[in-house]
Amino acid sequence: MPIIIGLPIGGGGLPVAADSKIRPGSLAIAFAADVPTIPKTVTFTAPSALAVAVDAPTITSPGNIFPSLSGMLFRYRAGAEAGSDGTAVGTFTDQSGNGRNATQGTGANQPTLKTNILNGKSVYRFDGTNDSVSIASWSPGTATVTIYAVVNNRNAGTFKVLATHSANRDAFNDVFSLEKTTADKIDGVLHGSGGTYGEFLTTATIPTDGTFRVIRFLFDKSLASNECTVELNHTVAGTRPSNGDTTGNFSAQDTYIGSQGGSAAFWNGDIAEFVCVNRDLTTQEKSDVDAYFLAEYGV
């Protein structure tokens, strides 16, 4: 009687890497070949001595576990927070292991935890009026940062700030900002040394349709061109030429999530996850992160 094992693999196949050690009472599967697809089921013809030929790409991280990335600065995941639906969240707990929590001491200005919103997962909800959290002054220590955000937009036609590394990106050097314009376009801004200015206004919109999207921002002030790159749902929405500044690292500043400096342009919408890394990612790492977001949130 064949044994059928269903594999939790999404469309197109998720990569897997594992050793196969078969002993009584346990099963393990080794997927080694770098080939395009994985079947949703595997049939074993004998329970004691198993040999399996599987069509599978290499994967370095299981789909529903966030990849281990060197240089991760902080990671906030609403699903990791304790609390019931509607609970005010005064601390976004850093999941990177660095202890870089984002906080809001004023109860009326704390985002709320909303449960079972996205693929059964929780989100942080920002009310667009005064909700915001901040990270005390810190520096990435590099000239490059990658930021991932799983978000939706609940406001149309108003300038909003998703996050900014400074109280006001126009008033500080070597800082960056993630924004939404009055036309609901995604905007990445890099303010370099000596006040040089680089902004990438994409043609990609984030409409108020309730849909969550994965946005990836890459800021690299060391490059002579394309210092800002924005991806929407795993596809490049565009790049921005250099702002003329190719020297130095990003400066030490407070970082605000959900507002500009904790006082203006408050985000109106939800954030399921927010991740910052102090470098660009490899092609394999990007693939692993994309696989995680697909498995965890369906986006």
Q: Mark out the alpha helices in the chain (DSSP H runs).
A: 283-297
Give bridge partners of residue 5 from the DSSP assignment. Answer: 42
Check if the beta carbon of residue 232 is closer than 8 Å to that of residue 193: no
Mean of per-residue pLDDT scores for the chain? 79
Among residues 59, 86, 104, the one where a domain terminates is: 59
In the block, tokens 């949130």 appear at 297
- Range in 60-69, 177-186, 254-263 the model is least confident about: 60-69
Domain with 113 in it: 72-297
The span from the CA of 218 to the CA of 282, in Å, is 12
Q: Has residue 161 been placed in a domain? A: yes
The span from the CA of 262 to the CA of 24, in Å, is 59
If you write DSSP's letter for every residue of 136-177 in order, what string do you get?
A: EEE--SSSEEEEEEEE-----SS-EEEEESSS-TTTSSSEEE
The span from the CA of 136 to the CA of 94, in Å, is 13
Domains: count for the chain: 2
Q: With a cut of 70, say whether residue 58 has pLDDT above it.
A: no
- Burial group, residue 132, by CB count within 10 angstroms (0-12, 13-18, 19+): buried
- Range in 44-48, 73-77, 115-119 the model is least confident about: 44-48
Say which CATH number the domain at 81 has: 2.60.120.200
The span from the CA of 198 to the CA of 250, in Å, is 14
Q: Has residue 66 been placed in a domain? A: no
pLDDT, tens digit, 9 for 90 and up, residues 243-252: 556 678 888 9
Q: Has residue 28 been placed in a domain? A: yes
* 208 plus 284 within the same structural domain: yes
Q: Has residue 84 been placed in a domain? A: yes
* 242 plus 189 within the same structural domain: yes
pLDDT confidence band for 91 (50 / 70 / 90): very high
pLDDT, tens digit, 9 for 90 and up, residues 268-298: 999 999 999 999 999 999 999 999 999 999 9
* Amino acid (one-letter) located at 212: F
Nearest to 134, CA basis, from 156, 172, 163: 163
- Burial group, residue 50, by CB count within 10 angstroms (0-12, 13-18, 19+): middle
- Range in 203-212, 220-229, 260-269, 284-293 the model is least confident about: 220-229
Q: Has residue 64 been placed in a domain? A: no
* 205 plus 167 within the same structural domain: yes
Measured CA to CA in angstroms, residue 3 lies from 43, 145, 272 at distances of: 6, 47, 38
Q: How many residues are present in the chain?
A: 299
pLDDT, tens digit, 9 for 90 and up, residues 27-56: 444 443 333 344 444 444 444 444 444 444
